[in-house]
Each structure stands twice: as C-alpha cells, then as structure tokens.
Amino acid sequence: MQARADILAAAEREFARRGYAGATSRDLAGAAGVSESLIYRHFGSKSGLFAAAVLAPFQGFLETFSETSARYLAQPLPVEAMLRLFVSELFDQLTVHRGALRSFLAAVDDLDPATTGDFYRAFDEVMVRISEVADTEARVRQRRSRGLGSEINARMVVGLVLSLVVLDDLLLPADDRRPGRDQLIEHICTILRNGI
C-alpha cells in the first residue's frame, strides 16, 4: 500500500507541475520511484491515476462540504453569520484544493469522457445538496428564493468563489491593491447580501 500512496503523492505533484498532457506515465513512474507497469496495475491508465490523485480528493472535499453546509441549518445563526460561514469555508477548502482544480481544468479536454462525467456528476450532486440546504434555510426563515431559484443561486455563489480561488492571478491585482482573504470574503458576502 505504500507504493500506491507514493504514486498518488508523486502524481499529484507532477500533474500540478506539468499538467495532464505534459506528464507522461514515464515521468509519473520516475517521480514515484516505481515502474510504469506498477502504475498501470494500480490505476489502469494515466487517466485512472489522474482521477485517483487529483479528482478523488476533491470529490471527497465536495461531499464533506455539502454535509457541513447541511449542519449550518442546526445552528440558530443570523443570516449574515451563516453566509460568512458558508463563504469562508468554501473559500478555504477550495484554496486547499486549488492545484487539483487547476489541474482538472487544464486536463478536461484530454481526459476520457468517463472520468470527466464522473467528476461532473459528483459536482452536480453536491450543488443540488447545497441548493436543498438553501431551500430548507429559506423555508425555516420564511423567505423566498430570489432570481432563478436556489439551485442557480447556489451555483453562482460557488462559481464566484471558485473563480476567485482558481483564477486569482488573473482576476485580482498583483500589486499592493490585492485584497487579502478576509477582505475578499467580506466583499463577497456584501455583494451577496446587497448586490453589486
């Protein structure tokens, strides 16, 4: 089992460094200190290794995050505090998985359809669960969902936070005007509460 763990750790690093297309199975085996045949024995293909090293940890996070979101309902918190909790937890967890997200986005056109389909289905299930939490929260607080409904609203919030985490180098200033984590979270919450 140590060989499998070594392969996964090396693959995560290599995919982040070289991208999916740039990391050959020979590179991956060399970085892990194993033979290429061992990679194929454990994972079946380079795509299978990518799914296990990059996508599986992120899918685990998605499942945990949707469960955490559901627990917010049990807390008698003001709307602003709940929103801040949700956004900050999402921001922090996406930041932890930034490399995996960037690797996936860079590799999506090169992966086999089954791998991308599995990932998209898992992501979709989490989005549906988050929107169900939002629906329940709205009913408890006797509020109506605005706009296109809670599912689209939840997807847009996740998209906003996701883009700021994954595309931070592109979207945020590179100089001393660059806002810190707490400033970004506060600003996202302000936009969500009040609009732009």
Mean pLDDT of the chain: 82
Percent of all residues in the chain with a pLDDT value above 90, rounded to a whole number: 23
**CATH architecture assignment, domain 47-194:** Orthogonal Bundle (1.10)
- As a whole number, mean pLDDT of residues 134-159 equals 74
The pTM score is 0.74
Amino acid 147: pLDDT: 63
- Evaluate if residue 113 carries a pLDDT over 70: yes
Residue-wise pLDDT for 153-172, tens only, equals: 888 888 999 999 999 999 99
Interatomic CA distance for residues 168 and 173, integer angstroms: 9
Amino acid 186: pLDDT: 93
Buried b (16+ CB within 10 A) or exposed e, 108-126: eeebeeebbebbeebbeeb
Residue-wise pLDDT for 33-58, tens only, equals: 999 999 999 998 888 888 888 777 77
